[in-house]
Amino acid sequence: MKYSDVDELGFTELADAWVTESNMRPFDYVLAKLLDAFWRGEFEKTLEQIPDHWPRYLDVLEQLKQPFGLPWQAKSEDEEGEINWEGLCGADINDYALPGQEVMLLMKLPRDMIRLWCHDQGYELPHFWFPEEENTRPVGRPSIDNRLNSQLVILAANGNLAKTLKAQAENLHEWACKNLSHEFQIPKPTSIENNIRSEFRRLKAKQKS
């Protein structure tokens, strides 16, 4: 499978591929990290407006309640019906009741969601899924490049990408000047064009398919 052509992967698919990266932790660790991030809402925190194709943890929680498919650690001892969030976040996939395992294993994590999560958390992008992107670890708060790419994802999710890369870069430059100039030094449209090139082309191709 050529992962760079795939738009989404399941939890176990992603963890299985990720462990092939150099200096990566074992499969069980990577899978647990992804599950923990999902239930803590870390994926959703990367954007103010969540694209429709992203799974939302509160919606998935409702699916797991009926029938009860949550892991036993999610059951609270204090109040009936309450969720033990720390127990849920720390649960292994094998701790889920069978209906819950099916829901979690069938769920897909979008490529753009993982991309923004890695930037937000300061993780290196997995090369198997992002072979053409410069792999740097952001330090401190998100960079202007990450903010621009986040906005690009929102535009694509709403069907508002520009017709050309040049036009998209100019639009993002105008948006950044209005919204981010108090935080960052805004790059020129030509620099933005270079930064968004691969992701813009991928998102445009996805819209055409």
144, 185 contact by CB (below 8 A): yes
The whole-number pLDDT of residue 169 equals 95
User: Residue 140 has what pLDDT?
Assistant: 44
Q: Where are the domains of the chain?
A: 3-110, 144-208
Q: What is the pTM of this model?
A: 0.69
Q: How many CB atoms lie within 10 A of CB 14?
A: 22
* Unique residue bearing structure tokens 């294993």: 105
**8 Å CB contact between 97 and 70:** yes
d(CA 159, CA 110): 17
- CA 111, CA 101: separation in Å to the nearest integer? 22
In the Cβ-directed half-sphere of 179, how many Cα atoms lie within 13 Å?
Answer: 10
Q: What is the pLDDT of residues 9-67, one digit of tens each?
A: 999 999 999 999 877 889 999 999 999 999 999 998 877 778 888 999 999 999 998 77
DSSP per residue over 27-44, as a string?
Answer: HHHHHHHHHHHHHTTTTG
Q: Which pLDDT score, from 0 to 100, does residue 137 have?
A: 45
pLDDT band, residue 208 (cuts 50/70/90):
confident
In the predicted model, is pLDDT for residue 94 greater than 80? Answer: yes
Predicted confidence (pLDDT) per residue in 105-161, tens digit = 999 999 989 988 887 787 888 999 988 765 544 444 456 887 888 788 888 888 899
Higher pLDDT, 134 or 2: 2
